[in-house]
Amino acid sequence: MAKIKLTKNWKSHGISWKSGHFYTFRYNAYRTDPNPTVIIMYKVYGTHPKTGHQHRYVQAINLNYIPRAHRKKFVELWVKEMEKNKGNVEFTWNVVESFFPYLESAVRRYMIKPIYRIQNPMEIPIENLEDAVISTWSNDFSKKLKIDLAAKKKRALGRSVNMKTKYKQKWGISSFFSSAKNFFTGK
């Protein structure tokens, strides 16, 4: 079985894709954002040796899910980095975790096969980058992301309240962990 491979530079859809460069395209399999503006991390392809699951996607940061202030700050820093290295930059998960942790919530995977999933891809030139990335008011999904995260937190907290009620009704205790702690500490 073939292994999963990461590629940082490749050609498809009539253009050259490079890690650390910005692109925009029409994505047919979208949930929220049909026209993402992304910074590419890498292409993942191959078959997982143990599960047999096929991987055929591009992993990228969709900047439309980042608040405008963070977007502007990130683009300014990254453009300086690109100019300093003459465009030879790599944007990987380690870079995100180490230097830009606020981008983690905007990681997205875009299927590259079948080929019709991504249409009209364009690399955004450095001189147009700030206008294309920062001025997209109509494509700002950062508030939706915040609302989704708040809803997940609320559901999680609701489950914990339900568990406390369940333990109180069943055993007369408010929490399994507090009773276990009392049991082992002798209180």
Rounded Cα gap, residues 106 and 79, in angstroms:
19
pTM (two decimals)? 0.72
Exposure string over 141-175, b if 16+ CB within 10 A, otherwise e: bbeebeeeeeeeeeeeeeeeeeeeeebeeeeeeee
Q: Is 43 exposed, middle or buried (0-12, 13-18, 19+ CB in 10 A)?
A: buried
Percent of the chain with pLDDT over 70: 75
Least confident segment among 26-40, 44-58, 132-146: 132-146
42, β-bridge pairs: 59
pLDDT value at residue 23:
95
Across 128-148, average pLDDT: 69
**Given the structure tokens 């498809």, which residue do they identify?**
12
> pLDDT tens for residues 83-104?
999 888 999 999 999 999 988 8
Report whether 116 contacts 26 (CB < 8 A).
no
Could you tell me the CA-to-CA distances from 114 to 9, 78, 162 in Å, in that order? 19, 31, 44
Domain ranges of the chain: 5-140, 145-185
Preceding omega of 121 cis (within 30 degrees of 0): no
Rounded Cα gap, residues 73 and 153, in angstroms:
28
Mean pLDDT of the chain: 82
The CA-based diameter of the chain, rounded to the nearest angstrom, is: 70
DSSP 8-state assignment for residue 3: P
Helix, strand, or coil here: 109? strand
pLDDT value at residue 9:
93
Structure tokens given for 88: 């030879």
Helix (H) / strand (E) element for 73: namely: helix 68-84
